[in-house]
């Protein structure tokens, strides 16, 4: 766990996922941005609502995954990314943009 926390704190990149989507209401390409943090022993990815309809929906507000100390930081973040994509697939507002 300490190795993952150290690698996370030393990472100079912006800690977010930017996932290409299609807005179902406009059929236009867009991006859903999840900010990533560590809360206890979990990665926490939160999406800030862009409008009042999204704000009322909890479908893609956040995703959490347990940090597995047996895997690398990259592998843990990959699992979190998969969870974020699943949340988008279940969303009433977006679908994944497979063209990007």
Please provide the DSSP assignment of the chain as one string: -HHHHHHHHH--S--EEEEEEEETTTTEEEEEEEEEEEETTEEEEEE--SSHHHHH--SSSEEEEE--TTS-HHHHHHHHHHHHHHHHHT-SSEEE-TT-
pLDDT of residue 57: 64
pLDDT of residue 99: 86
pLDDT of residue 6: 94
pLDDT of residue 91: 86
pLDDT in tens, the chain (100 residues): 899 999 999 999 999 999 999 999 999 999 999 999 999 999 999 987 666 766 666 556 789 999 999 999 999 999 999 999 999 998 888 999 998 7
pLDDT of residue 60: 63
């Amino acid at each position: 766990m300490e190795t993952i926390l150290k690698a996370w704190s030393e990472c100079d990149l912006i800690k977010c996922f930017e996932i290409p989507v299609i807005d179902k209401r406009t059929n236009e390409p867009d991006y859903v941005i999840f900010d990533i943090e560590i809360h206890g022993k979990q990665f926490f990815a939160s999406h800030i609502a862009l409008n009042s309809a999204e704000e009322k929906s909890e479908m893609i507000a956040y995703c959490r995954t347990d940090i597995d100390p047996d895997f690398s930081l990259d592998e843990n973040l990959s699992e979190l990314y998969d969870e974020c994509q699943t949340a988008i697939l279940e969303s009433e507002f977006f679908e994944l943009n497979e063209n990007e």
